Structure 1
Amino acid sequence: MASRPIVPLQQQQARGEGVIGGRKKRVVLGDIGNLDRVKGANINLNRPITRSLCAQLLAKAEAGENNKNVAIPNVTGPKPQVADEVVAKRRVAPKPAEKKVTAKPKPVEVIEISPDKEVQNDKFVNKNKEGDALSKKKSQTLTSVLTARSKAACGLTKKPKEQIVDIDAGDSGNELAAVEYIEDMYKFYKLAENESHPHQYMDSQPEINERMRAILVDWLIDVHTKFDLSPETLYLTINIVDRFLAVKTVPRRELQLVGVSAMLMASKYEEIWPPEVNDFVCLTDRAYTHEQILVMEKIILGKLEWTLTVPTPFVFLTRFIKASVPDQELENMAHFFSELGMMHYATLVYCPSMVAASAVFAARCTLNKTPIWNETLQLHTGYSEEQLMDCARLLVSFHSTLVNGKLKVLYRKYSDPQRRAVAMLPPAKNLMPENSCGSRV
């Protein structure tokens, strides 16, 4: 087995080794540049000093971490340089500018042009810009001129656009107004009104004519007023009478019995405290007994299949009056025309919503309201002024003959000062039959 060669102590010391207690002791080098500590050793550096290492040494020298003169080997020769001298030179020498890392721009193709061409191109660009601005100004001016001429030709400059009034804004806090569902409800009423609307039936009634029906309705209005019933009860009563007469032949002597039984049914449906059967017996001067009224009530319910929830003209009238933004006089006048139309058989050809809208239209014409019809009314009624003209003229013709007629109940009712005596006002001249066209405002 080969033994390790013994190195003399001097050579060990020359290599930086020592013997302590029989063991070798290595002297840790404080710096790579402290080459003068190793006495008698001539070491040539084969590895050049890098920039990062040199920067570290200079930073330590400037911070004062190593106050001793540290010899820095010169890369170009064996003679070392003192760190202080290097620092002095570094301080005297100007610092190189730091390189900023920037993205290299893409090479731009440079086109050399003469000064004359530059001036000409600048002028060309300016001319183009000025031409674009002038063309824009000219196009805007031309458009505005044409728009103004079109409006002037159509007469729109003098008529500002009407605003549709939100008639339910005031009832937003009223739960009974059902503002969230009111529009859907009236859409349903419009669809359902034709199903419950009675057709013309006088040709199928051999013993009843239009005059007898008018007398019955006039008497029922009087009874309704004496009992102080709600308007819904009156409208439902007339609806029940007409629907029953449309499906059942009634003798003349039972016509009043049909009216009494219909009002009893409507009162039970609409009123909180409806009149009793004996009250109707007394009103008919005991022409019909208690049992006859109840038997007729049962017959009517059977023929109508117990259908009492129907959209009468009153259902639409309340909504259309609200859309008209009325005063007390206009409201009473609209109710007057609606009941006047209900009393005459000729209005049965029109659906309930049209009768209600025509009543509001005729009332506005009678009271000289301007405008007679607007966008808000047309939106909520669904009818234009031209569509309502025929029915409104019919209602005004009834108004003109009411004073000299024999049926005075309705005239007396609406001649009351509490109802603003609207029946006593002169009929609307622009809706009289001799006038071929209505007012245009």
Structure 2
Amino acid sequence: MPLPRGKKPAVTAGSKMPKLSENQEEGPQVKRSSSPPHGAPKKRTAFIDITNAHKVQISLPGRKKKEAAKKQVKKTSAPSVSTKNQANLKKSSSESSEGTPAERETTDADEEEEEAAAPVEELVAAAPPAVCEVPSHHQKQQIPAEFDVDSENSEDCYMCPEYAKDIFDYLKQREEKFVLCNYMSTQPSLNPEMRAILIDWLVEVQENFELYHETLYLAVKMTDHYLAKTPVHRELLQLVGSTTMLIASKFEERCPPCVDDFLYICDDAYKKEEIISMEANILQTLSFDINIPIPYRFLRRYAKCVSAGMDTLTLARFFCEMSLMEVELVSVRGSLLASACLLLALVTKELGGWSPVLEFHSGYRTADVVPVVRSLHEMLQAPPDDKLKAVRNKYSHKVFFEVASLPLVSGDILEEVLSQ
């Protein structure tokens, strides 16, 4: 007999539910049982082990101390027997009694809870005092107000005003690791003129690829350090220079040129395998330590110390870039060379001599800078070489304020300023 809609058949004690066929679906009115089928695993939390984790009580760190502190605050009168004495009594009674290991564990747990219930004041008093003294070599260097040149950039995080002095002091100390000497005597196939031609060509590469000046200076430094350790044949000198420029580009540039670009500027005189092999050779010879302090960074820092204009800084950069081709100046540290170039530019622009703020930030006195200034002045007085025109042509452009065409200061005026 058909059943009316919405009603379920009454099930008697002896009646059985009709079985559903494989293709027959349950209607929405049938509710699924929340209990698992027979033999199926029980539901469990994802982060609890399925073996005996339900027997383990999970306690968060610090919960016992917080609960003990709350209990201590609620107590109005102190107990007659101290907490430690009670713990000792329980401990002695548990040791004397013939209890099971489970009872001993329970007693130990109670003892830990009672010790955790100690007053907060006792815990604070028992804690050792914090050491707040800072070692002397980690203390912040105090800069006098008249020598503070970084506070004006306190809002510019890229200028690192809090650490600028420390950074350049570190770079100046690091220079001691990269001191060079005139290595041409160890190069049987090279001479200073060949090196100057190579540097002049690297200046053209830097200008054509529009690379940073830091890339050029770092490439020259790596070239000198490699030539100081490894004899190189003259036919491979251009390969060394182009490879150091490639390495410096990877170190300094955001988008360095690829290997094929350097093969192109070498007029395909070398193969790709040769420049890759030379790159590995140079890096291994320099022990992969290519973060060499360069004079260009010191020059910009010292120019900021005296608030030098862009034209004065560019003139000092011209002097510094001309010095790259002089093998006699290879042994001069970058910070000292930058100081001498800036001082010569200040004298040329009639902006004074070596000031106390420069002495404070550079660490050099006037007497330390004078010999290098004289060497630079002698270099610039020499007639220009027709083979070495890249630097002069570069700084004769309006972008560089045409500083290469400025008249050089006379020797008498220079000596008068240096003697002050």
Letter in structure 1 aligned against 2:239? L
**Residue 262 of structure 1: which of 244, 258, 261 is its match?**
244
CA drift of 1:168 comes to 0.7
5+ residue gaps, structure 2, are 1-143
**How do residues 84-95 of structure 1 correspond to structure 2 at under 5 angstroms?**
none
Distance 1:425 1:412 in 2: 13
CA separation in 2, counterparts of 1:310 and 1:431?
36
Superposition pairs for residues 342-357 of structure 1, below 5 Å?
A: 342-357=324-339
Name the CA shift for 1:423/1:290 in 2 (closer, same or farther; >3 Å): same
The corresponding residue for 1:381 is 362
Give the SS at the match of 1:195.
helix
Q: 1:351, 1:271 → 2: CA distance?
A: 24
Would the aligned equivalents of 1:197 and 1:243 in 2 still touch at CA under 8 Å?
no
Counterpart Cα distance in 2 of 1:404 and 1:209: 16
TM-score computed with the length of structure 1 as normaliser: 0.60
CA displacement 1:88-124 (0-9 Å, x = unmatched)? xxxxxxxxxxxxxxxxxxxxxxxxxxxxxxxxxxxxx
Deviation string, structure 1 residues 322-371 (Cα, Å, up to 9, x no partner)? 112111210101111111112211111211110010010011111111x2
Change in Cα spacing, 1:199 to 1:173, as seen in structure 2 (3 Å) is same
Contact in 2 for aligned 1:402/1:408 (Cα 8 Å): no
SS at match of 1:306: coil
CA contact (8 A) 2:197 2:387 kept: no
* TM-score normalised according to structure 2 size: 0.63
Distance of 2:283 and 2:299 partners within structure 1:
26
Indicate the SS of the match to 1:164. Answer: helix
**Shift in alpha-carbon separation, 1:436–1:328, aligned structure 2, 3 A:** closer
Query: Is 1:320 paired with 2:302?
Result: yes
Q: Deviations over 1:156-202 (max 9, x none)?
A: xxxxxx98342112211111111111222122111110202333211
SS of residue in 1 equivalent to 2:179: coil
Distance in structure 2 (CA, Å) of the matches to 1:293 and 1:326: 41
Q: What are the within-5 Å matches in structure 2 for residues 323-402 of structure 1?
A: 323-369=305-351, 371-401=352-382
Higher RCO, 1 or 2 (CA under 8 Å, sep at least 6)? Answer: 2
CA distance in 2 between partners of 1:269 and 1:404 (Å): 32
Say which SS state the counterpart of residue 146 (structure 2) adopts: coil
- 1:55-104 Cα distance to aligned partner (Å, 9 max, x none): xxxxxxxxxxxxxxxxxxxxxxxxxxxxxxxxxxxxxxxxxxxxxxxxxx
Mapped to 2, the partners of 1:165 and 1:438 lie a distance apart of: 22
* CA–CA separation in structure 2 for the residues paired with 1:420 and 1:190: 30
State the 1:397 CA deviation: 2.1
Please identify runs of 4+ aligned residues in structure 1 that moved more than 6 A.
none
Q: What residue identity is the alignment partner of 2:313? A: E
State the 1:420 CA deviation: 0.8
- State how 1:45-56 maps to structure 2 within 5 Å: none
Matches within 5 A, 1:30-429: 164-369=146-351, 371-401=352-382, 403=384, 405-429=386-410
Return the alpha-carbon distance in structure 1 between the equivalents of residues 284 and 363 of structure 2: 34
- Structure 1 residues 346 and 186, CA gap change in structure 2 (3 angstroms): same
Go from structure 1 to structure 2 and tell me whether the alpha carbon gap of 1:184 and 1:431 turns closer, same or farther (over 3 Å shift).
farther
**What is the distance in 2 between the residues matched to 1:184 and 1:404?**
41
Shift of 1:436: 5.9
Q: Higher Cα Rg: structure 1 or 2?
A: 1
Q: Which amino acid aligns with 1:398?
A: M
Count of aligned pairs between the two proteins: 277
Q: Percent of aligned positions with the same letter in both sequences?
A: 34
Label 1:325 to 1:411 Cα distance change in 2 as closer, same or farther (>3 A).
Answer: same
User: 1:389 touches 1:438 (CA, 8 Å); kept in 2?
Assistant: no
In structure 1, the gaps of 5 or more residues are 1-161
Q: Secondary structure at the residue paired with 1:321?
A: helix
- Secondary structure (helix, strand or coil) at the match of 1:316 reads helix
Deviates more, 1:164-173 or 1:260-269: 164-173
**What amino acid does structure 2 have at the position aligned with 1:387?**
D
Instruction: Read off the aligned partner of 1:418 and give its amino acid letter.
Output: V
What is the rounded CA distance, in whole Å, between the counterparts of 2:222 and 2:418 in structure 1? 36
Equivalent position SS for 1:292: helix
Distance 1:404 1:294, change over 3 A: closer
Tell me what 1:138 maps to: none
342-351 or 162-171: which moved more?
162-171
Distance in structure 1 (CA, Å) of the matches to 2:220 and 2:301: 20
Q: Which moved more, 1:215-224 or 1:397-406?
A: 397-406
Q: CA–CA distance in 2 between the matches of 1:289 and 1:332?
A: 37
Deviates more, 1:216-225 or 1:175-184: 175-184
